[in-house]
Structure 1
Amino acid sequence: MVSNDSESRRPVIGVTTYLEQASCGVWDTPASFLPNAYIESVTRAGGTVVLLPPQPVDPASLARVIDGLDGLVLTGGKDVDPARYGQSAHALTDEPRRDRDAWEFALLEHALEVDLPVLGICRGAQVLNVLRGGSLHQHLPDVVGHERYQLGGGIFSTVEAEVAPATRLAAILGGSVTATVYHHQAIDELGAGLVRSAVTSDGVIEAIEAPDSRFVVAVQWHPEEDLADPRLFAALVTAASTEGAPA
């Protein structure tokens, strides 16, 4: 399906969206939307974006959606329903967005089955881990004793993370990363077939990947917030432009 002629065909990257109450002009209504930074990050890297809002879908329709994509980005957003990893909700866990959970878990499961290149971002990393049978810390300050991973008020902060050698992430970013973060949850027990590819000094997992895949990398931080550093999106687009076995 993917052409190797980058001049004639930019790879099509599906990007998941929010489904929340939103105001625009005189309207205040449930709406599917996405911060433009995600779209710009993909298009600057050479991809064409198709937005994938939460929606009911049957297996045949889902297969058609995935068949039309060359790559997939799972974006940030509200917390994954803790019932999906066998826990009751923490007092500070978001009210579940079960429609979005159902859509994104189904999308990702099928994408992994057909070895579609995937980049998970923040919530997207958590979806990947939970889908593979892992669990989450529901409120990170309970674990690390501080709130620097999510300052609140829409204010991003940065943390330093060490990138594990001999991982795909190391090939993309090198041995360390200054991560732009806004998350109050984090990966706890790692899902099957996944490896930790970046960890902070206080033990928070900031990136995971599936080494046996063509390209499945998921980061807890927000690379779309730094348009000056396109490396993760460029790596996804490159993988989406190339058919074959994992590198």
Structure 2
Amino acid sequence: MTSEPVILVEHRAGVRTLILNRPDRLNAANDALLLTLTAELEAADADPSVRVVVLTGAGRGFCAGQDLGDVSGRDMTFTEHLHRTYNPLIRTIRGLGKPVITAVNGVAAGAGASLALSGDLRLWAESALLIEVFSNIALVPDSGSTWFLPRLVGYHRAFELMALAERVNAEEGLRLGLCEHVYPDATFREEVQAYAERLAARPAHALKLTKQALNAALTSTLDEALDREAELQQLAGDHWEHEEGVTAFRQKRPPQFVRGE
């Protein structure tokens, strides 16, 4: 009997959906899930038919964090484990040349919270619940949480959420800016797909460059950002998408940014 794959892959209308598939463990991450997810993201990045990537979870949860049973008793330090699994995954998401949507369909705890925050866009179901649970087992937030969360809510609120392991529901997450939209559980998958398809119809090359600019601007000076914008703008202006956008504007029609590339 073959076991279920740890990552399910769906593809429709330019949207590649990667589904964490350990629903009996609320998609708690083991090595197989983390390494397979990184490989699937790299494959999506290399596939020209993929314009948007969605990360979500099977069943009732998004990701409950690290599966502690998977690492118990192993001869590997925390540092080695992070450098082997979570850190390459988060770097792949942030460096992907395509928009990544994290679609949080339930609990996102610990490293699962980090994964939920790592997307370019975050869509939550009404049942979504984010918990920086690390302090409950006397550990430090990892997998990018110390970088993502304070940039979204400020240092002091981030410290409080981490120190007290406070639960953030969908309503509070929307208020704090941890997600862009909240959708009903009953229609969540359909709403996410529709949103992703809207994004997939936008100019892929321009969005790739925009992601590069935003990532770099988070750690650069204004002068550096201005210089980078000028360089990337030339790359955008030389691309066929720009010509199509200008032509469509002049002809008073919607631009068509999807074609064989």
Normalising by structure 1, report the TM-score.
0.36
Which one scores higher on RCO, CA 8 angstroms, separation ≥ 6?
A: 1
| Greater percentage in strand | 1
Who wins on radius of gyration, i.e. which is larger? 2
